[in-house]
Amino acid sequence: MEKIQWKPLLLSILISLGTGTLAGLLTSGSMEKYQTLYHPPLAPPGWVFPVVWTILYFLMGVAAYRVYVSGNDDTKQALLIYGAQLLVNALWPLLFFKLDAYFFSFIWLLLLFDLVLLTARCFSMIDQIAGKLLIPYLIWLVFAGYLNLAYLIHNLFN
């Protein structure tokens, strides 16, 4: 990795954090709703989500930056897949919190996981560190899947 290119780095981080901000604005009140939901074992308090997501969006932005400045021929395709996963990511909270579509949001989360896994693979082929920066995101999505599935099952049987 060469010298840091600050403008592309900041833009990349802002795009990523902006996705989270947009999702948060579209789902205002979601943490209040979270407090009313069934909490399976290991469910964190509501304040954990914005902290974790801020960290994850920051890592995504750094990863995308590393791919962007790599000069690799596959950069454009990798960043298109990255953009697709950002879009899918931004829509999940709408499905879950605004539409109460727990089944569909779980399926959507599986799609998101697949897109992030594909993004991580594409990023890794261009820049191994960029791919590794997405590992915490993948782990968090597994945990989010556990929570989403728990809410789905609880609502089906109660």
Structure tokens at 36: 């009313």
Tell me, what DSSP letter sits at residue 44? P
Query: What pLDDT does residue 134 have?
Result: 98
Give residue for tokens 């600050």: 6
Calculate the dihedral angle through the C-alpha atoms of 88, 83, 111, 40, rounding to the nearest 10 degrees: -60
Query: What pLDDT does residue 30 have?
Result: 87
Tell me, what DSSP letter sits at residue 101? -
Instruction: Tell me if 37 sits within 8 A of 105, measured CB to CB.
Output: no
Q: For residue 75, is pLDDT > 60?
A: yes
Instruction: Classify domain 6-157 at the CATH class level.
Output: mainly alpha
Query: What pLDDT does residue 117 have?
Result: 98
Query: What pLDDT does residue 158 have?
Result: 86
Q: In angstroms, rounded to a whole number, what is the distance separating the alpha carbons of residues 157 and 154?
A: 5
Q: For residue 1, is pLDDT > 80?
A: no
**Residue of 37 and 117 predicted with greater confidence:** 117
64's enclosing H/E stretch is: helix 48-68
What average pLDDT does the segment 4-29 reach?
Answer: 95
User: Where does the pLDDT of residue 29 fall: very low under 50, low under 70, confident under 90, or very high at 90 and above?
Assistant: confident
- Smallest CA-to-CA distance from 28 within 61, 50, 57, 12 is with 50
Q: What does the pLDDT look like over 85-131, one tens digit per residue? A: 999 999 999 999 999 999 999 999 999 999 999 999 999 999 999 99
User: Where does the pLDDT of residue 55 fall: very low under 50, low under 70, confident under 90, or very high at 90 and above?
Assistant: very high
Q: What does the pLDDT look like over 56-65, one tens digit per residue? A: 999 999 999 9
Q: In angstroms, rounded to a whole number, what is the distance separating the alpha carbons of residues 119 and 83?
A: 9
Where helices occur in 1-134 by DSSP H, the ranges are: 6-26, 30-36, 48-68, 75-93, 102-126, 128-132
Q: What is the mean pLDDT of the chain?
A: 95
Instruction: Tell me if 15 sits within 8 A of 64, measured CB to CB.
Output: yes
Residue spans per domain, the chain: 6-157
